[in-house]
Amino acid sequence: MRAVVQDVYGGPERLRIADLPVPEPVPGQIRLKVSACAVNLSDWEYLTGNPFYARMVGGLFRPKQPVLGSDIVGLVDALGEGVTGIGLGQRVTGDFVMTRGGFAEYVCVPADHAVTVPEALSDVIAASLPQAGGIAVAGTEGLNAGTRLLINGAGGGSGTMALQLAKAAGAHVTVVDNAGKVAWLKALGVDAAMDYGEADFAGTGACWDRILDMVATRGPGRIARALAPGGRYRAVGGEVGVLLSLVFGGFAYRLAGKSIGMLMVPSGRALTERVLRMAVEGRIAPHLEAVLPLDAVPEALRRTGQGEVRGKLVICP
């Protein structure tokens, strides 16, 4: 089978197209003939081995899994021992971030993370939903009409779906991203948009009730200044040092009623099913920039890592 292979940590130039043996499912796994696999920022992290937690999970010195790609849609092609409730030919998806392997023609994944794709969703749309949609749903829980929300790094897959949910809840939404995305984000109906190259949201003097930060770069002191009393800040990702400072340094601001920490996303079958159901109901929809072939994975990852993608890129082997 054709696959995009990563032998060492580094940039997209280290990737290569290779012919690999078709994998065989072990007990508890199913094999999928891959129809579509979305590109996520987590793929960039596993490619580069940075932040360090990517190496802690993916292999300290070299990647344990040579094929990236975790938000996979495919047809069940083989069943591992002990797998029940899933049939051959069934179309399934899931957030397989712990096993990956989706940038290939075939992949083996844990059966207990697989979810049937509703007929109303295409392969490409379904592949765009598990990880990014899960983050968007978890990051906007509990929003009310009039809540002032800021989404930092709003132009990617998670951010664009989060702003949809926030606006539907009646929140006042401010988004932050690079200059190339500001006009596009405004056209999506946000209330305000900022170019991070022109202004630091934490230094403007403005305050928000909720902040959802896709890539944290600021410590708790700076974040606290941008939070209103009773406000809540949640980071999705970032450098390990920054994330640790938010988790442990954030305790000091609880007396002021400001909650600072990481976003805990309950990934798994239940959340994926919820996101797919919301997509069928028209409550959430990924912004799809392009559908690309397997050979385009290196460039797709480069653009994702540089924050250039508007919404989602999906690979169809």
Q: How confident is the model at residue 51 (pLDDT cuts 50, 70, 90)?
A: confident
State the residue for tokens 């069940």.
76
Specify the range with the lowest mean pLDDT, choosing from 21-30, 77-86, 238-247, 298-307: 238-247
| Confidence class for position 190, pLDDT limits 50, 70, 90 | very high
Across the chain, mean pLDDT equals 95
Rounded mean pLDDT, 61-68: 95
User: For position 108, what pLDDT does the model report?
Assistant: 98
Task: Tell me the C-alpha distance between 299 and 149, whole Å.
Answer: 32
307 pLDDT exceeds 90?
Answer: yes
Task: State the pLDDT confidence band at 254, using cuts at 50, 70 and 90.
Answer: confident
Instruction: Check whether 141 has a pLDDT greater than 90.
Output: yes
The pLDDT value recorded for residue 54 is: 86
Q: Lowest-pLDDT range, 41-50, 129-138, 234-243, 294-303?
A: 234-243
Residue-level pLDDT at 273: 97
User: What's the confidence (pLDDT) of residue 306?
Assistant: 94
Residue pair 27/82 in contact (Cβ under 8 Å)? The answer is yes
Q: What is the pLDDT of residue 257?
A: 87
Q: What is the mean pLDDT of residues 221-230?
A: 95
pLDDT of residue 252: 79
pLDDT in tens, 66-117: 999 999 999 999 999 999 999 999 999 999 999 999 999 999 999 999 999 9
> Which phi and psi angles does 312 have, rounded to 5°?
-125, 150
**pLDDT band (50, 70, 90) for residue 10:** very high
Q: Please report the pLDDT score of residue 240 as a whole number.
A: 84
Report how far residue 291's alpha carbon sits from residue 37's, in angstroms, rounded to the nearest whole number: 10
Q: What is the dihedral of CA 201, 42, 70, 109, to 10 degrees?
A: -130
The pLDDT value given to residue 149 = 98
Give the model's pLDDT for residue 77: 97
Reported as a pLDDT band with limits 50, 70 and 90, residue 130 is very high
> Hey, which residues does 90 pair with through a beta bridge?
none
- pLDDT at position 56 is 85
pTM score over 0.75:
yes
Give CA separation, 202 vs 222, 239, 245, in Å: 6, 18, 16
- Please tell me the predicted confidence (pLDDT) of residue 127: 98
Which amino acid would we find at residue 40? N
Q: Cα separation of 53 and 240, whole Å? A: 7
Which band of pLDDT confidence, cut at 50, 70 and 90, is reported for residue 249?
confident
pLDDT of residue 251: 78
